[in-house]
Amino acid sequence: MELDQDLLSRQQARELARLAGEAQKILITFPQEKLDAIVEAVGEAFSKEAVSLAEMAVQETGFGNIRDKTAKNRFAADTVRQAVRGMKTVGILSRDGKKKLWEIGVPVGVIAAIVPSTNPTSTVCYKAIIALKAGCPIVFSPHPKAIACTRRAAELVAKAAEAAGAPKGAVGCLTIPALAGCQELMAAPETRLILATGGPAIVKAAYSSGKPAIGVGAGNGPAFIHHSADVAKAVACIAQSKTFDNGTVCASEQSIIVEKGMEDAVRREARNQGFYFMDTQEAGQLARLLFRPNGTLNPEIVGKSALHLSKMAGFSVPPGTKILVAREQEAGPTRPYSMEKLCPVLAFFVMDSEEAVLNKAIEVLSHEGSGHTFVIHAQDEAVVERFALKIPVSRFLVNVPAALGGIGAETSLFPALTLGCGAVGGSSSSNNISPMDLINLRRVAWGLKEPTECRSEEPVTDDLVELLTQKILERLG
């Protein structure tokens, strides 16, 4: 007898949410020290399996490469774990004697976590660490293209968490891939918050679920190489970022913008570092592969190398080619190079002035990527300040590989694999999402002044009570 996959998935989602709800009743009683011990155990166990999980993810999805997926896994297990060490998330967080105000951290409760196919295993570890640090159970909904590796990562996390004292059900994972199950998990009575990382459709579903949600928009960050920049270093940063895991990090650069006077220098240095500038015919051939007729990104090009992409498009490039570049001047739905491309492909904009560069960057981001990430390479702090005040992003990066700077690997931003885009990007948060986004604050406030309305210089007598009563009756009647 063949059972209905949608019904099975829904039933599993209900059961996992119920178990997580029971686990929440126990987790909420844990002091900070016990939560911290669970987080340490999870990170340590995951770090040991970083390579095997990376191999599994690449084999199952076909996205990226083992070396960089291993680095992502260790980033989630080690860098995130180190960042939350010493962070106070539950109990009394602060006491302000002067203001007579306390703040108490309270877990939001059960979290439904949507996992993308581009970063399946590392996202599980990262979201588990920030959730458990905040005292919240978490249930994962894998992408159908990455269900086996996501399930393995979640099992590893759950086992380590339970061995360290977490209640059963504190970490769960759907194993029957169906949209119906994901929707059931988001709508479950026990679910208190949805942490959605994925495509526009799933993020929209999260925000439409009727539950509080933290979703993230598309990345489409331009990189501006200013005339004050160290060009060789700027190009090296872009190369490192855009080739990292074959371009699957949403914060990675999607275009380079320069003033006309910088074009030759940037082209020359980029060629020296393995960038291939496609001619019009080659760019047209690749453009037809990047997006499907309905406007969505073609999954067949995601996380593939430049050499692989050129072969798919039907042209050849030199053996050492790292990144494919197409000349572009406009942004919009008919301009595929102006959009997010989760592979080592860049648009190249050449503008007449610095003002034109600023306007073009805003145009590109307004089309796609508002609120996400922008990077500038410059030594002139005045131009950095000018652009930072006007570019509509949550992460404005300076002289750093955007993929690594945006996630906090090479900047002081909180290390995260879920990057909020703020209201301008359709997100409820502009943060690199941390445990502090997964707690509520209970505020204890003392009165600062003596009450004055009921004061009276004369003692209260029966005659006064009778008079007041008479006045009240007159107003009522």
The pLDDT tens digits for 369-392 are 999 999 999 999 999 999 999 999
pLDDT at 200: 78
**Where along the chain do its domains lie?**
5-216+432-441, 221-411
**Is the pLDDT confidence value at 455 over 60?**
no
C-alpha pair distances (Å), 315 with each of 270, 298, 309, 356? 20, 19, 9, 33
Q: How many CB atoms lie within 10 A of CB 78?
A: 17
In words, the CATH class of domain 5-216+432-441 is alpha beta
| Cβ atoms 372, 425 nearer than 8 A | yes
- Whether residue 250 lies in the annotated active site: yes
Read off φ and ψ for residue 105, nearest 5 degrees: -85, 130
CATH 3.40.309.10 assigned to 221-411: yes
Assigned token pair, 211: 């539950």
pLDDT at 1: 41
**Is the pLDDT confidence value at 458 over 70?**
no
**Is the pLDDT confidence value at 55 over 70?**
yes
pLDDT at 278: 98
pTM of the model: 0.91
Radius of gyration of the chain (CA): 27
**Dist CA 241 CA 66 (whole Å):** 16
Confidence of residue 155 (pLDDT cuts 50, 70, 90): very high
pLDDT at 346: 98
Q: Assign residue 135 a region (left: φ > 0; alpha: ψ between -120 and 50; beta: otherwise).
A: left
* Residue appearing with tokens 């885009």: 421
Instruction: Tell me what percent of the residues of the chain surpass a pLDDT of 90.
Output: 87
Instruction: Give 230-239 pLDDT, tens digit per residue.
Output: 999 999 999 9
Instruction: Give 261-314 pLDDT, tens digit per residue.
Output: 999 999 999 999 999 999 999 999 999 999 998 888 999 999 999 999 999 999
- Output the average pLDDT for the chain: 94
Least confident of 127-131, 252-256, 305-309, 454-458: 454-458
Confidence of residue 17 (pLDDT cuts 50, 70, 90): very high
Q: Are strands 253-259 and 221-225 parallel, antiparallel or unpaired?
A: parallel
Confidence of residue 104 (pLDDT cuts 50, 70, 90): very high
Query: Which class for 319: exposed (0-12), middle (13-18), buried (19 or more C-beta within 10 A)?
Result: exposed
Active-site residue, from 182, 250, 343, 421: 250
* Residue appearing with tokens 């030199």: 318
**Is the pLDDT confidence value at 2 over 60?**
no
